[in-house]
Amino acid sequence: MGSVLLPSTYGFPKQIPSPSLYSITRQEESIVVVGEKPKVSPISPSRPPKQRGRAMPSIWRPSRQADYDCFSSATPIVIDNGGSAFRIGWAGELDPRVTFRNVVQRPRHKTTGETVTIVGDHDPALMKYFDYTRTSHRSAFDSNVVYQFEIMEYVLDYGFERLGANDLQVDHPILMTECVCNPISSRSKMAELLFETYGVPSIAFGIDSAFSYKFNQQHGICTEDGLAVCAGVTTSHVIPFVKGEPVLEACCRTNIGGYHVTDYLKQLLSLKYPYHMSSITWEKAEELKMEHCYVALDYASELQLFQKGKKEAEEKTRSWQLPWVPPPQEEAPSEEELARKAALKEKQGQRLRDMAAAKRSIRISEMENELHGLKDLLQQLGQVEETEISSILSKTGYDSRQEIESAIQKITQSLRKAKGEPNETEERIDASLAEKYPLTNVPDDMLTPEQLKEKRKQTFLKTTSEGRLRAKQKRFEEESMREKQNQQEEEKRLENPELYLEKLHARYRELSEKVEQRKRLKTNGARTNGNQNLSGGVGRGERLNAAQKERMRLLTTAAFDRGKGEDTFGARDEDWQLYKLMSKDNDDEDNGQEEDEAELARVTARLQDIDPTFVAKSDMVPLQGTPELPRFRPLTAEDFQIVIGVERFRCPEILFQPNMVGVDQAGLDEMVGVSLRRLSTVDDAVKDRISNSILVTGGSSLFPGLVPRLEAGIMQIRPYLSPLKVVRASDPILDAWRGAATYAASSHFATQTFSMQDYYEKGEAWLRQYHIQYTL
């Protein structure tokens, strides 16, 4: 392939080796090299030579025409420069030779960093070689007026090159379509571009919808007096025709077209399905619009039909299924598999139990040997003299006889715990404590002041030790009782699993209701006194339960039982028994609540272990009025469906009601009435002939139901019994180019063009008065 010329970031061409990526395209030529030839403007001699860009093929890349040299220089080239598509071909032919999307994109090569120009849609196979994150599609149009002539030049380069032009020197007359009432500045710059850059000998500009109307007039679809309604990409026009010529003073325009319909559909679907926003691309919205959208004959009635959810509305609803892969479904294990897993689990459990028993026996043996050794050492110390005790203790690591006795006691307790034997009795504990703290049992009158001080210290230490030992003994008893209870429950479960599970569920419900009721009383009051506070407030009496009310009664009654005007409560010792009674009741209530909550937690844990279908409450006492949290469910194919119902006719409705998208302008039917009212010099008979020949053209006129809706809207504007006929063009998309090709093939076409010499002599002001005659 040689080398490929890419424009650098500074605007100068740079020769680089041709990358291998260009060989992956399906077309015969993978990239178009536009010839680089400097041109000097006759009007601006100081203008530097412009370096051309590079045009890459689109995914529907048109093939390069090979018969360019077969046409004489007098054969005109016809260009339909639309906001959506660019069409170019030869005069007199039925279809254009080259058609592509009228957009330009300039990505950078990921390896070299060079910028390339892509005209039309790019090939998805090339996306991995170029960076598209910093660029987007750019159009030369603002609404329907060309204003970016640098982009327009890239489009013309690609169009002429695909048509077969060599070195981009075009020596054929050109007929180019433009919008209605195109600004003189845009027309002048377009003429300058064609004359100075491509050396075109002559040019003619005409209105695209006018060519479409004249083409359909030749086929008998409309008459010479009529009206063209052009619903384009970004704008919509209404042009009246009198005696075959457009009356530009009476034309009307609205800045609403197919682009806004697609954008509105994309916005509605993105708001309806925000979690599928990445799938709702502009291209997909355009496809959905072309396939499913329609215009309702009566928008309000159609909307009520969908609001009521009738069967007809369901039939009009469409669903778009997104790619979805169902999660793999696990088959339920068979009875043999369950039995095998249960046997394996039991075998593993037995193995663990055997290992634990072996480890426990080894531990018991070690502790017994250590205990025998300490007892022998203690016996040996009792048989030797006092002078030899220190030497023996230094070899064993102990400092005194008391330390050895304490170690024997600890090992004895650990050994009993390992064997599962009960711990020391209370008498043994009291005896050991009495030996350790001898002064606690001696009367105070028999002790010296120093001994009294030591006695108080021993009393405190003894009390602390007793409490610690009793708490330890209590914990051991609770653990033993819990293990015994679990063993008994396991035996009951094995005897009758269904009955055990049913009783456990009943116990769970009972405890849950009990705890919930207690906390509800504490939070909102018992409401047992029959007073229903309809205002929503809760009084002091309603917040107290029965026990609290009784304590309040006792307290208030005791304060006034001493007589009128005299409060002697608390003067006697028996008065304080009332506080003890109240405190005892309160402690008993709190302890009961804690026991119920602990039992509920135990039952909940037990149910979670043996019942896989059991789901505990996230909060044991949910507040009244608190909504339950939704539970998660697995995604299905319906979650990946985009339903298009009311959007099918709501989006095209903006062609008749632009205020739905914030455009304060008239719709298509209103524009027809405005255009007819502007024909002040035309009598009613001509207006009747015009309304009897209304042609609808443009890409947006392909919506089903648009013609009947437009006819119904115009009928409300026109006088009673006035003639009315609305028809669609034979081909709303290609009729503009075909009409222009037919017009350019006429022998009188040369009289409607202006040459480069006329442009240079008469200047830009002459273009203000330039208009072609459509009837030749």
Domain residue extents for the chain: 68-102+140-208+733-769, 258-318+645-728, 341-419, 449-504
Q: What's the rounded Cα separation, in Å, for the pair 632 and 652?
A: 38
Q: Is 420 left (phi over 0), alpha (psi -120 to 50) or beta?
A: left
Topology of domain 68-102+140-208+733-769, per CATH? Nucleotidyltransferase; domain 5 (3.30.420)
Please answer whether residues 75 and 749 qualify as being in contact, where contact means their C-beta atoms are separated by less than 8 angstroms. Answer: no
What pLDDT, in 10s, does the model give residues 693-736?
A: 999 999 999 999 999 999 999 999 999 889 999 999 999 999 99
In the chain, count H helices and then E strands.
23, 23
Residues 6+ positions from 444 with CB-CB distance below 8 Å: 452, 455
Tokens at 462, concatenated? 């003894």
On whether the pTM is more than 0.75, the answer is: no
Burial of 717 (0-12, 13-18, 19+ CB in 10 A): middle
| CA terminus-to-terminus distance, the chain | 49
> CB neighbours (10 Å) of residue 233?
23
Closest among 514, 519, 707, 494 to 610, alpha carbons compared: 494
Polymer length of the chain: 776
Q: What is the DSSP pairing of strand 117-119 with strand 55-56?
A: parallel
Provide φ and ψ at 45, rounded to 5°.
Answer: -65, -25
pLDDT for residue 511 is more than 90:
no
Q: How confident is the model at residue 335 (pLDDT cuts 50, 70, 90)?
A: confident
What pLDDT, in 10s, does the model give residues 221-247?
A: 999 999 999 999 999 999 999 999 999
pLDDT recorded at residue 573: 64
Cα–Cα separations (whole angstroms), residue 507 to 498, 514, 596, 600: 14, 11, 11, 8
Burial of 335 (0-12, 13-18, 19+ CB in 10 A): exposed
Burial of 427 (0-12, 13-18, 19+ CB in 10 A): exposed
Helix axes 449-495, 497-524, angle to 10 degrees: 130
Please answer whether residues 7 and 54 qualify as being in contact, where contact means their C-beta atoms are separated by less than 8 angstroms. Answer: yes
**Across 385-414, average pLDDT:** 80
What pLDDT, in 10s, does the model give residues 403-415?
A: 888 888 888 888 8
pLDDT for residue 287 is more than 60:
yes
pLDDT recorded at residue 535: 40
What pLDDT, in 10s, does the model give residues 426-447?
A: 445 555 666 677 777 778 778 7
What pLDDT, in 10s, does the model give residues 345-378?
A: 888 888 888 888 898 889 889 888 888 888 888 8
